[in-house]
Chain A
Amino acid sequence: MTRGGQVSASMLFLSGLRGFVYSTASFGWHGGAP
C-alpha cells in the first residue's frame, strides 16, 4: 500500500480468501444455532 491510494487489492482479496477457506475448513458446517 502506498499513500497515493494504490492499495494492493489483490493482496486484500487473497488474504480474505485465505481467511475464508481456512476458517470454513476449521469451523465445519455446524448449521448455526439450534
Chain B
Amino acid sequence: MSVRSARFDASLPGRGRTGNRGRAPSGAAPPRPALVKAALAVVGAGLGVTMALAVTAETASQLSAPGGRATFGGNITGLIGTYLALVMVLLVSRIPFVEQVLGQDGLLRWHRRLAPWPISLLIAHALLLTIGYAQASRSGAWHEVGVVITQYPDMLMATVALGLMCLAGTISIRAVRRRLRRETWWLVHLYMYLALALSFAHVIVLGPSFVGHPLTQLAWSAAWLATAGLVLCYRFGLPIVRSLRHRLRVVEVRSEGPGVTSVIVGGRRLDRLAVSGGQFFLWRFLTRDMWWQAHPYSISALPRPPYLRLTVKAVGDHSAALARLRPGTAIAIEGPYGAFTRHAQRRPRALLVAAGIGVTALRSLLEDLPPRSAPVVILRGSRERDLVLRAEVTELVRSHRGTLHELVGDRERASVNERTISYLVPDLADRDVFVCGPEGFVASVVSAARNLGVPSESIHHEAFAL
C-alpha cells in the first residue's frame, strides 16, 4: 500500500480554481426541509381522510349483514392501497423541492420501501370483495369472480390494472430484477401509469364512498389529476423545456485514462442552469443508438458557461459508447438532481472520500465547497492510474487549503476503515463526511464514520446504481 499525503495550509497562497473559465453564477437552490415536512403532514392527513371515507360509508347493519365485514375490509384496503399508489407516483415525480431535500436515491428508497403496501392492499381488496360479494349472494367465490368481472361496470379494466401492478411488483423483487435488462424493467414499470389510469373509473363508479357523493368524487378526481399533472410537469415538461432552452451538444470527447472518458458539452444560457457541485443529470444522447435511454452521470466540474463536463468510466454498454460520441451530437437532459451538495453540510468542515469513478461527483462538490470547509480529501484506488482527475483534485485541495491523502493498493491493505480515518482525520468531530464510490466502498466508509461517532445527518453519500 502507498499513502501519499499533502497538506496545503493557510500560509500558502491560494491559487485559482482549476480550469476556471468564468464560473456560473447560480448553484441549485438550497433545500427547504420545512416545506418537505409540511408536504409529509399533508400526505399523512390525506391518508387519514382516505380512511375516514371508507369508515363513514359503513353502518352497523351493513357490517352485520352476510359478507358485510369482508366487503368493508375490501373497501378500506382498496382506498388505502390506491392512495398509497398515488403517493408512490408522487415520490418518483421529481418535484424539485422534495428532491432537493431527499435526493433521487432517497426518493427511490422510499418508493421501494412503500411499494409492497399498495400492491398487497390492492390484492387484499380484490380477494375480500370477492369473498364479501359471494357471501352476500350465497354463491361460490370463483362464480363471483366471473360475475364481478363481466357484469360490473369498469371491472374488467380494474382487473387488468391489478394484473399489471402485480407484474410490476414481481419484476421489482431484487432477485427477479437482477436477471432483467434495465430497459425491460423500466418499460414494465411504465405500465403502472396505465394501471392507475385503468383502475380510476371503477373507484368512482362502484365505491360506496363515492356513489351519490359528487363532492367526494370531485375531490378524489382532483387528487388524481393533480398527481398526473405533477408527473407530466416535472418528469416530462421541465426536462423538455430545459433541453430546448440550453440546446446542449457534445463539443469534445477526451480520454482521462484507461476506460475513463470526459465529455465536454456546450450549450446556451448555462449561467441560468442552477446546478451545484456533486449533482447529476440524466443524459440522453440523441444518436440513433442511444436516444431512447437516459443514464445518470455526475458533472465532474461546475459549469463554465458555455460548457459543462461529465466524466464516465466504461462499465456498461451506454457508458462505453460515450467514448465514441461525435462532436455536435445533440443532448437532452433531465435534472440536475441529487442532495449530495454543499447545502447538506451541517458541521463547519468537510471530509470527502472517494474511490474509483466516484471522484467525479467529489471533484465538482469540492470545487463548490466554501473555503472555510478546509477539506480533507481521501482518494482510494487499486493502482495510481485509477486515481481519476488526480491533478485537478490536487489543485482544488490546494486552492481550498485542505489536505489530500491518496491510498493506493489492494482493498485489504489500502482500506478506508475506522483506523485509517481516525489516523488521517483527527478532527473528524468537526467534519461532515461525503462519500462517493462503488456501493460496497460507500457502505463500509459510512459504517466506519458511524462507528467513529459521526451522526447520520452529517454523513452524505450518493448511490451509484439508480
Contacts and interface: CB of A to CB of B under 8 A. Distances in A.
Contact of B456 (A2, A8, A28, A33): A2
Contact of B36 (A1, A20, A21): A1
A5 B407 CA distance: 31
A1 B359 CA distance: 28
Given A4-B456, A24-B52, A29-B56, A16 B44 contact: yes
A3 B44 contact: no
A34 B59 CA distance: 12
Interface string B19-47: 00000000000000100110011111111
B173 interface: no
Nearest to B46: A19
A1 B101 CA distance: 9
A20 B55 CA distance: 9
Given A7-B40, A15-B45, A30 B56 contact: yes
B57 A33 contact: yes
B81 to A, nearest CB: 16
Contacts of A12: 40-41, 43-44
Contacts of B109: 5
Given A1-B33, A4-B457, A34 B212 contact: yes
Nearest to A17: B48
B53 A15 contact: no
Contacts, number: 106
Q: What class of interface size applies to chain A in its complex with B?
A: 20 to 34
B103 A3 contact: yes
Contacts of B210: 33
B253 to A, nearest CB: 34
Contacts of A7: 40
A2 B106 CA distance: 10
A33 to B, nearest CB: 4
Interface of B: 33, 36-37, 40-49, 51-53, 55-59, 62, 101-103, 106, 109-110, 207-213, 339, 344, 456-457, 459-460
Given A3-B339, A11-B41, A20-B52, 14 more contacts: A1-B40, A2-B456, A3-B103, A6-B457, A8-B40, A11-B37, A12-B44, A15-B42, A16-B48, A19-B48, A20-B51, A24-B55, A31-B57, A32-B59
